[in-house]
Chain A
Amino acid sequence: MNALVAPEPLPATLDPEKTALLARLADGLAPEQLYWVAAWSAARAGQVQRGVAPLESPAADVAAARLTILYGSQTGNAKRLAEALAGRSESGGLPVRLVRADAYSHRELARETQLLIVISTQGDGEPPDDARGLVEFLLGKRAPRLPGLHYAVLGLGDSSYPQFCEVGRQLDARLAALGATRLAPLGEADVDIDQVAVPWAARALEQARERLGRAEPPVVRAATVHALPARGAYSREKPFAATVLANQRIVSRESERAVHHLELSLEGSGLRYAPGDAVGIRPTQPPALVEQWLQALHLDGTQEVTHDGRTLPLAQWLGRERELTRLSRAFVAAHAAASGDADLMRVLRKEHAASFAQLLASHQPIDLLRRYRAAWPAEALVAALRPLTPRLYSIASSPRAVGEDEVHLTVARVAYEAFGMPHWGAASAFLAATGEDASLPVFIEPNERFRLPAEDRRDIIMIGPGTGVAPFRAFVQDRRESGARGRNWLFFGNRHFTRDFLYQVEWQEALKSRALHRLDLAFSRDGAHKTYVQHRLRERGRELYAWLEGGAHLYVCGDASHMAKDVHAALLDIAVAHGGHSADTAREWLADLLTQGRYAHDVY
């Protein structure tokens, strides 16, 4: 996000180096954290005026005496875990410093003694945006030898992707190769994060505490730049029952894929959100899907099953507690063992990684259950399946426009035929079928990495094909309501102009009222050639580059596996074609935008 600098009207009171340091320190901090920093600065100013001793903080000493926690987070999970870790360390009396990966100076690494890294893996083995620089540095030639370092890495991932926890694995292996010593083995947390994260954290913190010796009050609390965010009454663990105010299909009747616009009431929840945030929903999976499972396995849905000290009917375990729509390696392995099927065994072997990836991409668990028959006792099944994780939807409204008590979502209903039977997504089918006045269990998932520029005169470029347009509806609403001075440029694409132009009438009105300044469209199935947003980007390359050179912020939301990569490639080409860059400097230019928080992703 934007660097925080002294208010413009004042003459510069800091030299450039200090300004840059301060900017890096403040970058990525939430408002409450910035206020904390401001309060600390004010208190410190008083001390200085009274002639209190200067802050003694020789970096080496501090580093030797403290635990550093680095995190790289895309959707906020790694950040949340890292904050929790820091909170536990602090309350346990450990001096700790919590730093987002892109706010961390690589030169400090050589002086660290105790380091915990929490990092997620995106899509096909990519690091989160905020950790790209750190990962590149660590894996690269310039990484220093680290014989004095003790570390532990917690990787986050989703085992329904083939490159599960790849970034965590790479860092863990690389740090060892650089001579560092593990405090704990690599943690590889799947979507049911706590299962791995909780024991990993206990072990890592215990080991760190032993090495740092017993607790003394930290010398410099100022370095602990993250205050723990305040928790409201409702959260991921305790979702709020939001009333559905409206549920409207917003594609035409001919559209191949149903997309719904949902309006939810947050009244009485105390939940607050900002454009860029997501709503998390704890879904109930389609009863017809549960029925498919029960039939395929010849199990009785009313059977009581006890797992982890809870007893529920099997149908409820399956519908509400267990992941039924995403295949994981663990489940494939378990089912291979249960069925004894040689093909399934073979595909799990390392040399068949491509086939395995193909299997994960094209099959839901039910497809395996039907193809490779195996007897699953109910208890074993519940134990083998991953807990059902909440689904996140980028918010499509601004509280300034719709009121704080209302939130809008754009949901593509996943429902298709495969292998001769209907398939559904875990939440979208549930959401699309939700009637008005029903209620949904929701929470707010903040996304500090996807925020409108703090300076309202900045231009923004929004690339959001399909339901990726959702946060940009929020952005445009917000900029309209706040009277932002910068221009807004949206790139949208979908299959058909007449069927799938999400929020068409609203964009038309926004163009008329100058709430939206430019709109470029790509409808892939309308012409002889498939046209996507990246084609439009290239066509508009000259202007796009000029906007970015003028300080514009660029946002990408939507499909991670293809679109975000194609857009990235198009941006590199644009820098070469219109910015006089070489391929190498174009990469640096884009990396720099990323570091500045001017190239943000909300991709899935």
Chain B
Amino acid sequence: MPALSEFELVKERSRQLRGSIAEGLADPVTGAIGEADTKLLKFHGSYQQDDRDLREERRKQKLEPLYSFMLRARLPGGVVTPAQWLVFDRLARDYASSGLRITTRQTFQWHGILKNDLKPTIAAINHAMASTIAACGDVLRNVVSTPLPMQSAAHAEAYAWAAKLSEELAPRTTAYHELWLDGEKLVGEPEPEPLYGRSYLPRKFKIGLAIPPLNDIDVFAQDLGLIAIAGDGRLAGFNLAIGGGMGATHGDPTTYPRLAEVVGFVTPDRLRAAAEQIIAIQRDWGDRGERRHARLKYTLDRRGTDAFKAELERRLGFALEPARPYRFEHNGDRYGWLQGGDGRWHLTLHIESGRLLDRGERRLLSGMRELARVHTGDFRLTCNQNVIVANVEAGDRARIDAIVAGHGLDGYRRQSAIRRHAIACVALPTCGLAMAESERYLPTILDRLEAQLARHGLLEAPILLRLSGCPNGCSRPYLGEIALVGRAPGRYDLRLGADFAGQRLNRPYRENVDEPAILDALEPLFARYAAERSPGEGFGDFLVRSDVLGPARQIPAEGIA
């Protein structure tokens, strides 16, 4: 067994995620908390960040960096009631610096919360019957689930499972209550957690549940993907797909994005046990010496998927059933009004980069607040950073449309296809990992690409663009037909050739290039696509078929050295 990484020791000694967070919060001299505590804080749903635009300026001003906290809610399946929405909106205006941010994992983030405001914000979120616990950290993260409730009955059942897993597999530590909700102070040493022990997981763990034919949650990018299998209009069970993950490190071939492998099927009554045991094996087998290799995907490639499955069946005491057939159509969102099986209506709105903020005519934050005031159904956040106004009675549609149009929320009606489907991570100025711009660059690169596409008559071609400020992959860039992965300010890796269904990874096409080089590289490809594509053929599929990208390298053929 290699030596434990430093953070493993921090976790182990943290007294179940307490560390010295309380002392750090109380220190009036700095807007930050202790270095080790920043890592523990993630388990509570928050990242310490600073405004990187201001770092140098403030250094000269003899001021510390402008520290603030990103806070992330845990919203299983992305479901938000109108009452919750109004609370989250108020918190965004009272405490955050840039509105509400819909994440690629179906939840909200608030950025720019000052240290002293962290506790009241977290308390208010909990008061609204939501939480932030385990929204980040080496634990089971927010469980995502196909949000569009088209097949009402099956969707309701599937969502209930997502919520159940999210709830039951969350950490049990009382540190959360103690720190944020004025819970009783623990005296003495805490008991280790039943599932997570003293050291929690080696790395984050993501569960996503997709209801075919929609793969809008990118089920193969999850550590554990659940593919709902319906039978007779009811939920029959789930195919289990394990070992997906996006993150990689530039220049380190032992790290790579990987799609999950389908290993079998379980009926709903066995789901909880299967999920728990998969997490438990990863807890026991995962690499705790090197965080870069700690995700389940590396565990599988190191120990073998067969061995993992055998261990799973041994621990469960039963064998997995053979996987059942399924078919995904695509992994984007379906914009506009759609009617569900029960007759109610759902309106999917496109929110660029998931950022709800008032900017000039586009008063997205205010518009959503107005909707929350009148809406009688609920809201669903999507993994593509969008929002669904769900369960609308037919008679309410006109009123909803008026609010949407009145606040500039109706971009989906006019935008080009590439703009509607693009997603981008937050990156600069708040994300500490960002190497290049992402969210702030998206409008610019979209303008450039639209101009190019317009010249080729491709404005209506649904091309999936994903933009990321670093290779860690929050925007799931390795599943974009076109992806830009940040390497340095203004420079990106250009990756091409994923499908539009989340079932094929893209491949590097140009490395570390600037905008002109990116546009130059794409120009002839757009030209050929416009001229040579088959009817209905996606850009990524075309590139693969026409052999533009050369032979695919089998992943994980790169393997771990």
Contact = CB atoms under 8 A, between A and B. Distances in A.
Given A508-B29, A508-B30, A252 B58 contact: yes
B57 A253 contact: yes
Interface string A430-471: 000000000000000000000000000000000000000000
A508 B54 contact: no
Nearest to A497: B31
B62 A252 contact: no
B185 interface: no
A497 B28 CA distance: 9
A504 B60 contact: no
Interface string A504-539: 111110010000000111000011000000000000
B28 A521 contact: yes
B64 interface: yes
Contact of A261 (B28, B62, B66, B116): B62
A253 B116 CA distance: 21
A446 to B, nearest CB: 27
Nearest to A251: B61
A498 B62 contact: no
Contacts of B30: 508
Contact of A249 (B31, B61, B116): B61
B46 to A, nearest CB: 18
B114 interface: yes
A503 B63 CA distance: 7
A505 B62 contact: yes
B29 A252 contact: no
A78 interface: no
A504 B63 contact: yes
B29 A519 contact: yes
Interface string B423-439: 00000000000000000
B116 A504 contact: no
Contact of B63 (A252, A519, A527): A252
A304 B284 CA distance: 91
Interface string A245-288: 00011111100000001000000000000000000000000000
Contacts of B61: 248-252
Contacts of B28: 497, 520-521
A475 interface: no
A489 interface: no
Given A252-B54, A252-B58, A504-B62, A498 B31 contact: yes
A361 to B, nearest CB: 31
A164 B538 CA distance: 85
A161 interface: no
Given A252-B54, A519-B29, A526-B116, A498 B60 contact: no
Contacts of B31: 497-498
A126 B280 CA distance: 75
A504 B64 contact: yes
B29 A507 contact: yes
Nearest to B63: A504
A543 B62 CA distance: 30
A511 B63 CA distance: 15
Interface in B109-135: 114, 116
A501 interface: yes
Interface size class of B (residues with CB under 8 A): 10 to 19
Contacts of A498: 31, 63, 66, 114
Contacts of A519: 29
Interface string B14-39: 00000000000000111100000000
Contacts of B116: 526-527
A508 B30 CA distance: 8
A509 B61 CA distance: 15
Contacts of A507: 29
Among B28, B57, B60, B62, the one with the most A-chain Cβ atoms within 10 Å of its Cβ is: B62
B20 to A, nearest CB: 16
Nearest to A496: B114
A250 B58 CA distance: 8
Contacts of B60: 248
A444 B63 CA distance: 29
Interface in A212-265: 248-253, 261
A252 B63 CA distance: 8
Interface in A560-592: none
A521 B30 CA distance: 11
A250 B29 contact: no
Interface in B40-96: 54, 57-64, 66
Contacts of A504: 29, 62-64
A503 B29 CA distance: 11
A511 B29 contact: yes
Nearest to A248: B60
Nearest to B32: A508
B532 to A, nearest CB: 53
A323 B533 CA distance: 81
Nearest to A527: B116
Contacts of B66: 252, 498
Nearest to B68: A498
B310 to A, nearest CB: 54
A501 B57 contact: no
Given A498-B114, A521-B29, A526-B116, A505 B57 contact: no
Contacts of B114: 497-498
B170 to A, nearest CB: 33
A102 B216 CA distance: 83
Among B29, B58, B60, B116, the one with the most A-chain Cβ atoms within 10 Å of its Cβ is: B29
Contacts of A501: 63
Contacts of B29: 504, 507-508, 511, 519, 521
B64 A508 contact: yes
Contacts of B57: 252-253
Nearest to A520: B28
Contact of B62 (A250, A497, A511, A520): A250
Among A261, A498, A520, the one with the most B-chain Cβ atoms within 10 Å of its Cβ is: A498
Given A498-B31, A508-B29, A521-B29, A503 B58 contact: no
A342 B287 CA distance: 88
A493 to B, nearest CB: 11
Contacts of A508: 29-30, 64
Contacts of B58: 252
A261 B58 CA distance: 13
A505 B30 CA distance: 9
A409 to B, nearest CB: 14
Among B28, B60, B63, the one with the most A-chain Cβ atoms within 10 Å of its Cβ is: B63
A503 to B, nearest CB: 5
A520 B28 CA distance: 8
A505 B62 CA distance: 5
A250 B63 contact: yes
Nearest to B30: A508
Contacts of B59: 505
Nearest to B58: A252
A481 to B, nearest CB: 19
A526 B61 CA distance: 20
A501 B64 CA distance: 9
Nearest to B61: A250
A249 B60 CA distance: 8
Nearest to A506: B62
A508 B58 CA distance: 15
Nearest to B28: A521
Contacts of A497: 28, 31, 114
Given A250-B62, A508-B64, 17 more contacts: A248-B61, A250-B63, A252-B57, A252-B66, A253-B57, A498-B66, A503-B62, A504-B62, A504-B63, A505-B62, A505-B63, A507-B29, A508-B30, A511-B29, A521-B29, A526-B116, A527-B116
Shortest Cβ-Cβ A-B pairs, 8 listed: A521-B28, A250-B61, A504-B63, A505-B62, A250-B62, A503-B62, A504-B64, A505-B64
15 contacts: A248-B62, A249-B61, A250-B61, A250-B62, A252-B58, A252-B63, A253-B54, A253-B57, A497-B28, A497-B114, A504-B29, A505-B64, A506-B62, A526-B116, A527-B116
Interface of B: 28-31, 54, 57-64, 66, 114, 116
